[in-house]
Amino acid sequence: MQTSDLVNQLAPSATIAAAAKAKELRDSGVNVLEFTLGEPDFTTPAHICDAAKAAMDAGHTHYTPAVGIPALKKAIRDAFERDYGVSYKPSEVTISNGAKHALHNVLAVCCNPGDEVIIPTPYWVSYRALVELVGAIPVLVETTEESGFCMTAEQFRGAITDKTKMLMLNSPSNPTGSVYPVEALEALARVAVETGVTVLSDEIYSKLIYEGHTFRTFASFGDDVKAHTIIVSGVSKAYAMTGWRIGWTLAPENISKAIDKLQSQQTSNPCSISQYAAVEALNGPQECLSEMMVAFQARRNYVVERMRAMPGLTFVDPGGAFYVFFNVSSHFGRELPGGMTVDNSSDFCTALLADAHVALVTGDAFGAPGYVRLSFATNMETITAGLDALEKFLS
């Protein structure tokens, strides 16, 4: 048997591959300090787990509507209006098996083969792969450290052609942690309306915002902007529910109906038990968010302070999410013990793992050669030991 050309050309997820390499080394007995996955180290809050148990005890273990239970749709709509002042109808909400599934759904129903999708770089590793998976063409627009890794309205307009279907935007960003300033988002929104380009706004990190930064949902800049916007989000990051696999889209009704039809053939429905847990996450006590953010803020401040003092590293202070994306190109050309030469970001990560037993993800996977991503979604003991090892390796 032979596999399809489409899958043969598909690159595996670099973050998952890096985590697998770290696990392989750990299984051999090495103490690996891992900073690869974007996954909160916190356990899902108890009241959310209790809601899942109650759902099982109540017999909610069967098929649900393909697009999700009404109670979760309502919880999503209520939370979005409460937090961001934007209202959606039940028919504009689709619940999926995680935000990654939601992203693929949107691309599948909106894009035809040959359509162009604009993606600012650096981008989350799966964006380009998901675009190519539906036969569309990723158009990469480079942003810089000097711009805070934010694409300008002029860059957006300059990338648009008669084949452009969509812009994929992520703020706060994975991998950079950058948060688009409100005025920059509004400028992008005006271009989208003027040109008729759909904006897919990935807002999975919207609750993870640090002091001095403001989150603004893309759909909030007026009804005309909302009509050109598809929001993707979920409970994975904010509520430490990565394994529960609940994400969603908020979209114009015709797009939502198309997603509903697609999902009915794909997966039947998201996990029934996870849906009831997500209802509790959104409707229940929210103190858990504040408690986790206190820890993330302390980690972020410590990482930034330590890395600022390390030789040859530059980066944008993360305004959200839990990543530092730093430039290591000043260390290229170094020869390490054993004869290995560091010529690129992948070499850097390979050498760091082998020599210092610190696992990071190469920026090559994010469309940003010369950079490396560190996730500080782990405990302070690991962070301290990892930065000690990184500092020693660099010096």
Mean pLDDT of the chain: 95
Name which of 29-38, 64-73, 371-380 the model is least confident about: 29-38
Q: In the chain, where does the domain assigned CATH 3.40.640.10 lie?
A: 60-283
Mean pLDDT check: name the lowest of 8-22, 60-74, 357-371. Answer: 8-22
Q: Is the peptide bond before 138 cis (omega within 30 degrees of 0)?
A: no
The pLDDT, as a whole number, for residue 3 is 87
User: Going by C-beta distance under 8 Å and a sequence separation of 6 or more, which residues neighbour residue 393?
Assistant: 351, 352, 355, 356, 358
Q: What is the CATH number of domain 60-283?
A: 3.40.640.10
Band of pLDDT at residue 231, cut at 50, 70 and 90:
very high
Please say if the pLDDT value at position 11 is more than 90: no
Instruction: Return residue ranges of the chain for CATH 3.90.1150.10.
Output: 5-43+288-394
Does the pLDDT of residue 212 top 90, yes or no? yes
- Name residues whose C-beta falls within 8 Å of residue 194's C-beta, 6 or more positions apart in sequence: none
Residue 346: exposed, middle, or buried by beta-carbon count in 10 A (0-12, 13-18, 19+)?
middle
138: β partners: 117
**Amino acid 29: pLDDT:** 82
Q: If you search the block for the tokens 């999926």, which residue do you land on?
A: 96
What is 64-76 written as a DSSP string? --TT--HHHHHHH
Angle in degrees, 0-180, between the axes of helices 380-394 and 287-308, rounded to the nearest 10: 20
Q: What does the pLDDT read at residue 336?
A: 77
Show the CA angle centred on residue 47, arms to residues 44 and 50, nearest 5°.
95
Q: For 221-247, give one letter per residue: b (16+ CB within 10 A) or e.
A: beeebbebbbbbbbbbbbbbbbebbbb
Is residue 28 over pLDDT 90? no
The domain made up of 5-43+288-394 is a member of CATH 2.115.10.20 = no
Q: How far apart are CA 383 and CA 92, in angstroms?
A: 41
Q: Which two tokens stand for residue 109?
A: 């129903």
Average pLDDT rounded to a whole number, residues 230-250: 98
Q: How many other C-beta atoms lie within 10 A of the C-beta of residue 126?
A: 19
Task: Please report, for residues 11, 100, 217, the alpha-carbon distance to residue 7 in angstroms, rounded to integers and kept in the order given.
Answer: 8, 17, 34
* pLDDT surpassing 80 at residue 308: yes
**What's the average model confidence in pLDDT over 157-168?**
98
Q: At 8, is the pLDDT very low, low, confident or very high (cuts 50, 70, 90)? A: confident
- Residues with Cβ within 8 Å of 232's Cβ and at least 6 positions away in sequence, in order, are 99, 102, 103, 106, 200, 201, 202, 203, 204, 247, 248, 249
Distance CA 51, CA 58 (A): 10
pLDDT at 4: 85
25 or 389, which is more confident = 389
Using the predicted structure, report yes or no on whether residue 63 has a pLDDT greater than 80.
yes
Tell me the per-residue pLDDT of 83-107, one tens digit each, with 9 for 90 and over.
Answer: 999 999 999 999 999 999 999 999 9
Considering only residues 18 and 61, tell me which one the structure prediction assigns the higher pLDDT.
61
Are the C-beta atoms of 307 and 326 separated by less than 8 Å? Answer: yes
Task: In whole angstroms, give the CA distance from residue 215 to residue 281.
Answer: 20
Is residue 17 over pLDDT 80? no
Q: In Å, how far from its chain's centre is CA 81?
A: 22
Neighbours of 312 (CB within 10 A): 14
Q: What is the mean pLDDT of residues 210-214?
A: 95
Summarize the confidence of residues 278-294 as an average pLDDT: 97
Give me the pLDDT at residue 2, please: 87
Check residue 30 and give its pLDDT.
80
Q: What is the pLDDT of residues 98-157, one digit of tens each?
A: 999 999 999 999 999 999 999 999 999 999 999 999 999 999 999 999 999 999 999 999
